């Protein structure tokens, strides 16, 4: 059987992480093709609903990428994202959904290498965790 | 600091002497309007009155919460008031009201909050059962108080009340104290200092806290804490595994009553009623193909977990959601259990201090790292 290839959804902020991903591309830095990128204006614009939806549907890992603290284009969106994701992860843990499937990372527009490394890290960790069991439950 | 007064009770008619006091608040213009529970046929509902003559059927201590009255209080105080409004709330309703104030849905100016020791409440349907076994001529608040104090067999309270952490009101301007007070003879009023001066035309008898009150309160809190631990231990088993969590919500019919009655869910239009969650038919078939089976209607778990994420830091554990659930899902208990965990992260207690900022409306530059 072929090796398990995790599916990752990445919600990236327009100003930093998305540009960082772009830089990784234009700089021809190699990273695993497991990630599906969704561009948003800010990490603070990610409603937890979209992360929950991805996890319920069986996505193996979710990355939320934002600007470094202090660098947010909208002054404080990333700080708010940090609080929201913390609550989400606290609740997921209590419900028996592995909270380590949700990653919040700060990656700037100049950190193409960091973006590639982060994707590599997630893919490795999700391979260790195995497939998201939610993909087997339809009663959601 | 507060001042204490006492009201004499004649013939064990606690509610009568309380109503007399409340009507005198109207008479002496301490308040211009009252929001007060009154008996209406088979239930007791909140009413707005200006005329003190209309206070006759009032049952302010009635052990029932048809809707969390903080929602009603928010409706009454949405804009700045030019009248002094006295609102009678249960302790959990005050907490929800303060959260609504923080959420800019209500105002505290010109509001006098009147509350009392709360020994618990029934759902509307259980309240009717309770009325059947009590003397119909008496106010239900009186019968209930007597039952509680004589430890008689009573219809079981709502779960939220059985596990309540705050049986005594906080942040009330006037608190009606019956716990540890010989309430067949007298009721104690705890009045906030600034308001106490305005009560002087009522020529109330001053009093002091009876020594036995502390012990009586402690006893109730201890009982409720024990029950809380028991209930939480049970629910933890059901919550902590995703299969069990799915099974908890397998009976959900998607009516969203839990959201509609929630005092904290104040959004005019909920995300789950918008087009964001209406899909083209191809999407259903694609989903069905992916997992092999698709539960219809869709998004049951998505709704509950998302709602939880949106409001749980402000959840005051009033249990309205659970009372409103036609499938009897222990949703209030689930939310209470998880609310504690989420609120603990920010060391936040909802509805306790109006100055505490909502965790999701603020942030610190250095916190919660590493993520």
Q: pLDDT band at B253, cuts 50/70/90?
A: very high
| Residue with token string 């039952």 | B147
Q: Do A138 and B346 touch (CB under 8 A)?
A: no
Question: Are B42 and B65 in contact, with CB atoms under 8 Å apart?
Answer: no
Contact list, B250 vs chain A (CB under 8 Å): 139
In tens, the pLDDT along B129-171 reads: 999 989 888 999 999 999 888 876 677 899 999 999 999 999 9
CA distance, residue A75 to nearest chain B CA (Å): 11
Measured between CA atoms, the residue of chain B closest to residue A132 is B242
Pairing of strands B85-88, B111-116: parallel
pLDDT value of position B262: 98
CA B329/CA B323 separation, integer angstroms: 9
The CATH code that applies to domain A8-136 is: 3.40.50
**Domain extents in chain A:** 8-136
Q: pLDDT band at B351, cuts 50/70/90?
A: very high
Q: For a pLDDT cut of 90, what percent of chain B falls above it?
A: 92
Contact list, B305 vs chain A (CB under 8 Å): 52, 91, 95
CA B304/CA B252 separation, integer angstroms: 10
Backbone angles phi and psi of B220, in degrees to 5: -60, -45
The DSSP secondary structure of B269-311, one letter per residue, reads S-GGGSGGG---HHHHHHHHHHHS---SS--HHHHHHHHHHHH
pLDDT value of position A80: 97
pLDDT value of position A1: 63
CA distance, residue A49 to nearest chain B CA (Å): 5
Q: Do B301 and A104 touch (CB under 8 A)?
A: no
CA A70/CA A68 separation, integer angstroms: 6
Q: Do B368 and A86 touch (CB under 8 A)?
A: yes
User: Among partner residues A52, A96, A104, which is closest to B371 by beta-carbon distance?
Assistant: A104
| Residue with token string 């019919």 | B253
Contact list, B342 vs chain A (CB under 8 Å): 87, 90-91
CA A127/CA B333 separation, integer angstroms: 35
Angle between helices B331-345 and B212-239 (to 10 degrees): 100
User: Among partner residues A53, A70, A97, which is closest to B242 by beta-carbon distance?
Assistant: A97
- Calculate mean pLDDT across residues B326-355: 97
pLDDT value of position B153: 63
Contact list, B245 vs chain A (CB under 8 Å): 95-96
Closest among B113, B118, B90, B115 to B101, alpha carbons compared:
B113
Pull the structure tokens for residue A104.
Answer: 């919040």
pLDDT value of position B148: 87
In tens, the pLDDT along B167-205 reads: 999 999 999 999 999 888 999 999 999 999 999 999 999
Cα B245 vs. chain centroid, distance in angstroms? 26
CA B304/CA B361 separation, integer angstroms: 22
Kindly state the helix (H) or strand (E) to which residue A13 belongs, with its residue range.
strand A8-13
């Amino acid at each position: 059987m072929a090796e398990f290839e995790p599916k990752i959804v990445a919600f990236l902020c327009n100003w930093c992480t998305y540009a960082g991903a772009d830089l990784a591309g234009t700089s021809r830095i190699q990273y695993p093709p497991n990630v599906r990128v969704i561009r948003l204006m800010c990490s603070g614009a990610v409603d937890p609903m979209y992360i929950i939806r991805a996890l319920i549907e069986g996505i193996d890992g979710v990355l939320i990428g934002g600007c470094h603290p202090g660098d947010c284009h909208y002054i404080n969106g990333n700080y708010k994202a940090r609080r929201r994701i913390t609550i989400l992860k606290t609740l997921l843990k209590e419900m028996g959904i592995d909270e380590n499937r949700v990653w919040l990372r700060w990656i700037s527009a100049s950190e193409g290498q960091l973006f590639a490394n982060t994707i590599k890290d997630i893919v490795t960790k999700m391979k260790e965790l195995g497939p998201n069991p939610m993909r087997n439950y339809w009663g959601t | 600091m507060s001042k204490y007064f006492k009201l004499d009770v004649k013939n064990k008619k606690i509610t009568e002497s309380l109503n007399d006091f409340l009507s005198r608040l109207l008479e002496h213009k301490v308040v211009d309007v009252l929001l007060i529970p009154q008996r209406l046929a088979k239930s007791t509902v909140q009413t707005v009155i200006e005329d003190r003559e209309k206070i006759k059927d009032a049952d302010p201590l009635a052990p029932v919460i048809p809707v969390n009255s903080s929602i009603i209080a928010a409706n009454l105080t949405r804009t700045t008031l030019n009248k002094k409004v006295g609102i009678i709330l249960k302790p959990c309703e005050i907490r929800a009201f303060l959260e609504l104030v923080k959420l800019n849905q209500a105002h505290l100016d010109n509001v006098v909050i009147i509350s009392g020791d709360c020994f618990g409440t029934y759902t509307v349907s259980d309240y009717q059962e309770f009325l059947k076994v009590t003397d119909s001529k008496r106010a239900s608040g009186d019968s209930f108080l007597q039952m509680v104090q004589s430890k008689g067999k009573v219809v079981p309270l709502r779960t939220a009340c059985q596990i309540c952490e705050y049986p005594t009101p906080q942040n009330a301007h006037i608190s009606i104290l019956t716990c540890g007070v010989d309430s067949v003879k007298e009721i104690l009023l705890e009045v906030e200092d600034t308001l106490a001066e305005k009560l002087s035309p009522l020529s109330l008898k001053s009093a002091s806290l009876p020594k036995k009150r502390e012990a009586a309160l402690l006893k109730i809190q201890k009982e409720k804490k024990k029950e809380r631990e028991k209930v939480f231990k049970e629910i933890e088993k059901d919550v902590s595994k995703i299969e069990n969590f799915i099974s908890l919500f397998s009976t959900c019919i998607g009516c969203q009553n839990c959201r509609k009655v929630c005092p904290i869910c104040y959004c005019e239009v909920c995300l789950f009623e918008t087009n964001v969650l209406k899909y083209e038919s191809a999407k259903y078939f694609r989903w069905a193909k992916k997992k092999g089976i698709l539960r219809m209607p869709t998004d049951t778990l998505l709704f509950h977990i998302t709602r939880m994420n949106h409001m749980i830091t402000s959840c005051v554990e009033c249990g309205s959601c659970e009372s409103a659930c036609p499938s009897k899902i222990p949703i209030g208990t689930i939310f209470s259990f998880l609310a504690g965990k989420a609120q603990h992260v920010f060391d936040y207690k909802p509805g306790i201090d109006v100055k505490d900022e909502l965790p999701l409306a603020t942030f610190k530059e250095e916190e919660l790292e590493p993520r």
